[in-house]
Amino acid sequence: MSSLKNISLSMLDLVCVREGGSVADALAICLRTAQHAESLGFTRYWLAEHHNMPGIASSATAVLVGHVAGGTKTIRVGSGGVMLPNHAPLVVAEAFGTLAELYPGRIDLGLGRAPGTDALTMRALRRDRVETEEDFPRDVAELQRLLGPAQPGQRLVANPGAGTNVPIWLLGSSLFSAQLAAERGLPYAFASHFAPRLLLQAIDLYRRLFQPSATLAQPYVIIGVPLIAAASDEEADFLASSTYQRVLGILTGARRGLAPPVEHFMAQLAPRERAAIEDFLGAAVVGGPARVRAGLNALTQATQADELMLVCDIFDPALRLRSLEIAAAACAG
């Protein structure tokens, strides 16, 4: 049975631009947060790829991975994830191979199969490419070859990249990537921070179908957890309104920067809007220290996850750091 005392904690950062702040501010906050997570003993710090989205500054994901890795010392840094349909596998292998040479033993390559953007931007990224269901498994296999040792007679070699064996993770919010990760013997991260509905079904499928590989002997599961921790339940509920506003913007197509918290925000919404936000954040843990400990423990017991990857979007950067401290203390026992 998993317990909070042996669970690993990590962080996923969308690098939110705060209202009234700049992209440069968001990037500086990202690095400070990564340094703080490292000081708290977090296992890894991942950056998410998004494009053409107001309020999110993580589009050049590999660049950000290098920036964060260069500003930290021990924490693993990676993509959560690179949206593989947007990129040629060779380009990804060269980018992450270069990162692996710069920061040996510290780089992760998380891969998703969604474009991570709207249709117009998708066409701008991918030109006229027509995606099929077979493309993602084939591209994952090609990345594995390109990042593995170069073979005699191999004509296409990633340089840098070959022989770096950058760990590949499959990310998903459906059953497709769970099954593929199981078949390939790869570690799996479920995107329950925004799509928790299939969480238990996906990780059960992954574990049942898992085939040991040279990469991984046993299944390894990360789950995404939206976290808002504060000194009291009341303060956490107030701070969480920034996240609620962000989610409502996603759901309605009215995206903007991360907004300051608002008193009684959820009470001002229509029942349908509240229900949609609650569904989106079904795996969220919001509260003071006791409620956070209970919430993280309940998620761990329900999923038997090996690692919790926190998504913590709080308007005040200092209170965001405190939120991570509260989570770390909860998991320390």
Using one digit for the tens of pLDDT, what is the confidence trace for 180-205?
A: 999 999 999 999 999 999 999 999 99
Decide if 92 contacts 321 (C-beta within 8 A).
no
Q: Which residue has better confidence, 285 or 332? A: 285
- Of 122-131, 221-230, 241-250, least confident by mean pLDDT is 122-131
Model confidence at 158: pLDDT above 80: yes
For residue 140, what are the contacts with CB-CB under 8 A and spacing of at least 6? 84, 111, 168, 170, 180, 184
Instruction: Give the model's pLDDT for residue 2.
Output: 58
b/e per residue 308-329 (b: at least 16 CB within 10 A): bbbbbbbbebebbbbbbebbbe
Could you tell me the pLDDT band of residue 1, with boundaries at 50, 70 and 90?
very low
Instruction: Give the model's pLDDT for residue 124.
Output: 60
| Residue spans of beta strands (DSSP E) within 166-217 | 168-172, 188-190
Could you tell me the pLDDT band of residue 134, with boundaries at 50, 70 and 90?
confident
Distance CA 199, CA 202 (A): 5
The yes or no reply on domain 4-227+304-314 and CATH 3.40.50.300 is no
Model confidence at 234: pLDDT above 50: yes
Model pLDDT for residues 272-323, shown as the tens digit of each residue: 999 999 999 999 999 999 999 999 999 999 999 999 999 999 999 999 999 9
Across-strand partners of 77?
A: 45, 107
What percentage of the chain carries pLDDT values higher than 70? Answer: 93
Residue ranges per structural domain of the chain:
4-227+304-314
Model confidence at 150: pLDDT above 70: yes
